[in-house]
Structure 1
Amino acid sequence: MIVIGVVMAASTGIIGASVVLMGMMSLPAMKAAGYDMRPATGVVAASGTLGILIPPSIMLIILGDQLRVPIGDLFMGAIWPGLILAGLYFGYLALVALLAPGRAPAPARTETLGAGAAALALLRDLAAPMLLILSVLGTIVAGVATPTESAAIGAFGATLLALVTGGLSFAAFRRAVYETTKTTAMIAFVMLGATVFSLAFRKLGGDAMAADLFHFGDVSPYVTFAVIMALVFVLGFFLDWVEITLAVIPIVAPIVAGLDFGMPADHVILRFAIALAVNLQTSFLTPPFGYALFYLRGVDPSISIGTIYRGVTPFVLIQVAALALVIAVPSIVLHLPLAMR
């Protein structure tokens, strides 16, 4: 399930589609096998939200626009945090299976393919998604295309893939165009409102007020960094990531850029952007307005929302631990972007 979440994150990045699809595929099978629905729903919801962090992610593109950071650097910087987060999910599930086998029983033995046949089947199934991922990420990282142009390449590749596999129909195409237009319009109007807000905020001296608010005297810059991350985490309980990104970043970005971490300011901003992306991923899982929770509830109404809340709680804590790791170890974020320069 976690591997599927990573592949879907790198090929689609759409949280709703990932959570719903994985829920429809896995929840009936896990329920029939006698799995505890708390870790089962938790892993589906958490794996589905990886798409907001693992590139190509629309969140990273908006962050890059707001922070004036190259999109290629953000994509490269997010790869290790995304894979580490997936590894932590896997480690938690392994502990659950080892310490409480009844909550995740081993599947009944069935007739299986040989190792060679299974490997070939896996490669065949992953070939098309991997080509799609490389066509989008590769063109951005190599500097061949801008994010907008690579998005067009990805859309064309996805359409071609749907045509080859027989999944393309006029109804599906119409639905895809409708959803894309709706999402684009929503983000455009939120960006317009956020721009007006930020200009008025600065004109009235709000940036100086925010700087005074986050000035804690002669303390470590990590304290200021942690306070900003705590504020964003709390806002994630009540606001969508788009609103947080477009309303909060213009206020706190100048403060973060002025923090003295003993490294260039562009490295500090890059670290901040990836840490913010990891932090905002929790907004999809935290009640009362976590989108992934309600997507999953819609997949199987027989599972109570309380069960889903309890199931995602360990994964929220894992995300907080991953956030602390990203902040404490700068090389997790900076290694790949600096290596590609």
Structure 2
Amino acid sequence: MTNPEVAIFMLCLFILLVLLGFPIAFTLLAMGVAFGYYAYFQGGIESFADLFSNNIFYLLNQNTYSVMENDTLVAIPLFLFMGYVVERANIVDRLFFSLQMAARNLPGSMAIAALITCAVFSTASGIVGAVVTLMGLLAYPAMAKANYQKEFAAGVICAGGTLGILIPPSIMLIVYAAIAELSPLRLYAAAVFPGLILAGLYMAYVIIRVLIKPSIAPKPRQEDIPPPIKIYMDLLVSFVPLTALIMLVLGSILGGLATPAEAAAMGALGGLVLAVLYRSLTWKKVKESVFLTAKATAMVCWLFVGSWTFASVFSYLGGHDLISAWVVGLNLEPWQFLVLAQVIIFLLGWPLEWSEILIIFVPIFLPMLDTFGVNPYFFAMLVALNLQTSFLTPPMAMSAYYLKGVLRNAIQLVEIFRGIIPYLGIVILCMVLMYQFPGIALWLPDYLFGKYIP
């Protein structure tokens, strides 16, 4: 086989191993080293020491160092810590129940409250698994007690939990900025309206669905509704402080007052302050938050090391060039290129997570953007929207497995799958809207930072 053929074989083998259940980070690392040893092999092994005189080990060392010293990625552990502290401060519990009462006159009030809570909390944490797990323990039992249809309730939680990788301050956008060498500030600004529109479409779907079939989400009983003064006081205490913290973090970034890392540090401190104000800050909870932050950060960092090593070897073997030449050779129009790229990313979302797609596959398309005259920030928002589906697409819909993991026998996996299918269509609708009206993604960054010039 020629080197490009080896690269394609390497890619296919990786997808096969992932489908078989091998750990993704270490599979990437092992395959990158194994195929890299072949790619960089100079020939001639006369002693045991010669086994390790291969440039793949230097590449692995450099990639590890690059990840650990990347200033942009410093924001990741700080945002994670903020999310874990907020999660353990019992703020989300109060937020959900107060929003539920405030939205009591809307069809599917609990589902609406769950979506808003998911959007707010996922924005603070940026971890899909944590949001879906917590809301599965908090919101699903409440909806089940209110006789909500199982599939309907599960779909709301799974779809709402993925919003955190899109709505700023998003960890995924930080990673994208590092990979594509784009401004994280512009990416955050570009994601504001697409994120809000997608959340709004989710809520519109819930309301319309309940209006058509009220039996899937019965109205709350009158005797269960507290006095209005208590509802608004609870909402003031739970919703305003957390939202203010998020707006402060996001505003300082978009206003150019702080870098994402600096804003994340401020958010982490703000999370601790909120925990103190809610009288829920204990040494045990701080230790748990630090431990979980370190664990998640280590996992993310090794995933990046493995992904970048794999991607470097894949590119060195000619895999990127082969795919680029094939796409350019199709003589596509710009809109056809965008459709092809998004279809490929959508299909990759079935077996892979967003991080592998970003680090391995998105760089294949990035050099082609100039060829087809596509704004890189517009393309980034299409990808960010598309990656929502990587958590919602059966059979590897991670949101469904997170929810099933906490609910156990309370619901069947196939019921969760049925519940999330409509939200896939909503994501695609949002992508179509943004394609038709690019200003949804480009107006705010152009307004705040001036028109983008390649």
Q: Structure 2 length normalisation: TM-score?
A: 0.70
Query: Deviation at 1:76?
Result: 1.2
> Which position in structure 2 is the counterpart of 1:318?
426
> Which position in structure 2 is the counterpart of 1:157?
270
Q: Which moved more, 1:175-184 or 1:78-87?
A: 175-184
1:197-247 Cα offsets, whole Å, 9 max, x none, are 333333333332121221254432111111111111111111111111111
Q: Which moved more, 1:210-219 or 1:230-239?
A: 210-219
Query: Deviation at 1:96?
Result: 1.5
Work out the CA distance in 2 between the residues paired with 1:271 and 1:204: 30
> Which position in structure 2 is the counterpart of 1:143?
256
SS at match of 2:174: helix
Contact kept? 2:333, 2:372, Cα under 8 Å? no
Name the larger-Rg structure. 2
Work out the CA distance in 2 between the residues paired with 1:149 and 1:339: 23
Contact kept? 1:23, 1:296, Cα under 8 Å? yes
> Which position in structure 1 is the counterpart of 2:391?
284
Work out the CA distance in 2 between the residues paired with 1:225 and 1:300: 38
Query: Deviation at 1:86?
Result: 1.1
Contact kept? 1:221, 1:259, Cα under 8 Å? yes
Q: Which moved more, 1:33-42 or 1:324-333?
A: 324-333
Contact kept? 2:131, 2:161, Cα under 8 Å? yes
> Which position in structure 2 is the counterpart of 1:338?
446
> Which position in structure 1 is the counterpart of 2:8?
none
Q: Map residues 82-231 of structure 1 onto 2, 5 A cutoff.
A: 82-110=195-223, 112-113=225-226, 115=228, 118-215=231-328, 217-231=330-344
Work out the CA distance in 1 between the residues paired with 2:155 and 2:216: 13
| Superposition CA RMSD, Å | 1.8
> Which position in structure 2 is the counterpart of 1:238?
351
Give the letter for the 2:445 counterpart.
P
Q: Which moved more, 1:278-287 or 1:16-25?
A: 16-25
Give the letter for the 1:283 counterpart.
S
> Which position in structure 1 is the counterpart of 2:405?
298
Query: Which segments of 5 or more consecutive residues in structure 1 lack a partner in the other structure?
Result: 262-267
* Cα distance change on mapping 1:165 and 1:120 into 2, 3 Å: closer
Give the letter for the 1:287 counterpart.
P
1:274 pairs with one of 373, 381, 389: 381
Work out the CA distance in 1 between the residues paired with 2:331 and 2:313: 30
Work out the CA distance in 2 between the residues paired with 1:197 and 1:45: 30
Work out the CA distance in 2 between the residues paired with 1:205 and 1:26: 49
Contact kept? 1:216, 1:224, Cα under 8 Å? no
Contact kept? 1:198, 1:251, Cα under 8 Å? no
> Which position in structure 2 is the counterpart of 1:265?
none
Instruction: Report whether the alignment pairs 1:19 with 2:126.
Output: no
> Which position in structure 1 is the counterpart of 2:151?
38
Query: Deviation at 1:113?
Result: 4.9
Contact kept? 1:9, 1:55, Cα under 8 Å? no
Contact kept? 2:210, 2:216, Cα under 8 Å? yes
* Cα distance change on mapping 1:247 and 1:33 into 2, 3 Å: same
* Cα distance change on mapping 1:190 and 1:32 into 2, 3 Å: closer
Q: Which moved more, 1:102-111 or 1:219-228?
A: 102-111
SS at match of 2:367: helix
Give the letter for the 1:225 counterpart.
L
* Cα distance change on mapping 1:24 and 1:216 into 2, 3 Å: same
Give the letter for the 2:416 counterpart.
I
Instruction: Report whether the alignment pairs 1:3 with 2:111.
Output: no
Work out the CA distance in 1 between the residues paired with 2:304 and 2:134: 29
Identity %: 36
Work out the CA distance in 2 between the residues paired with 1:5 and 1:30: 15
Aligned length: 335
Work out the CA distance in 1 between the residues paired with 2:319 and 2:141: 52
Structure 1 residue runs of 4 or more that deviate by more than 6 Å after TM superposition:
none
> Which position in structure 1 is the counterpart of 2:365?
252
* Cα distance change on mapping 1:66 and 1:241 into 2, 3 Å: same
